[in-house]
Amino acid sequence: MKSLVIVLLLLIIAFLTFNGRETFVEAKVEGASAVTPLPRVQIENIIEAVQAKSPNLMPLETVFINPVTSFQGGDVVNTRMLFYNTEKYSGEQLDIQAQVGEGGASILAMTPAAHPDLAPGLAAYTGPKYRDYQEIQKSFDQELQNYLKGSRDLPAKEVPF
């Protein structure tokens, strides 16, 4: 009985060990065009061109880059990039259309895709806003007077003992 249990356990272990091996074959789709990825240097050129226009933007992530055929003969790409705005302390997602080449990149269009000013409740940090002490004291005195006036107008309650 003991040997039967051991044999069953060994069979289960062997089944689980050798059953999990799978080989993957790369499927090739006929008729699909292979798009060559944009070289890293050209992506860096796009980022440098954006930073030349807005030096307070620091790159965080490239969401996508889509090459587009241009009528002028150059390589034009549509890209969406996420930047950190060091002036407003917020993230900005920009849709950028740029013309890339050997000499660098030039920005054709740059529009915000998601901006903190467009979404309610997502206000960027603007720094501390201070008020004078006299203004604060006047506000406290006014609230105290309103509270005292309101408490005098309340009907009296009898408290049972």
Cα 113 from Cα 23, distance rounded (Å): 42
At residue 3, the 3 state secondary structure works out as helix
pLDDT digits (tens, 9 = 90+) for 126-160: 677 888 899 999 999 999 988 888 777 767 666 66
Cα 93 from Cα 84, distance rounded (Å): 9
Tracing tokens 């006299």 back to the chain, one arrives at 134
Encoding tokens for residue 22?
Answer: 């799978």
CB-based contacts of 27: which residues, under 8 Å, 6+ apart? none
CATH: 3.30.1760, 1.10.10, 3.10.450, 1.10.490. Which one for 40-114?
A: 3.10.450
By C-alpha distance, which of 89, 93, 88 is closest to 59?
93
At residue 85, the 3 state secondary structure works out as strand
pLDDT digits (tens, 9 = 90+) for 62-106: 888 888 865 555 688 899 999 998 888 888 889 999 988 778 888
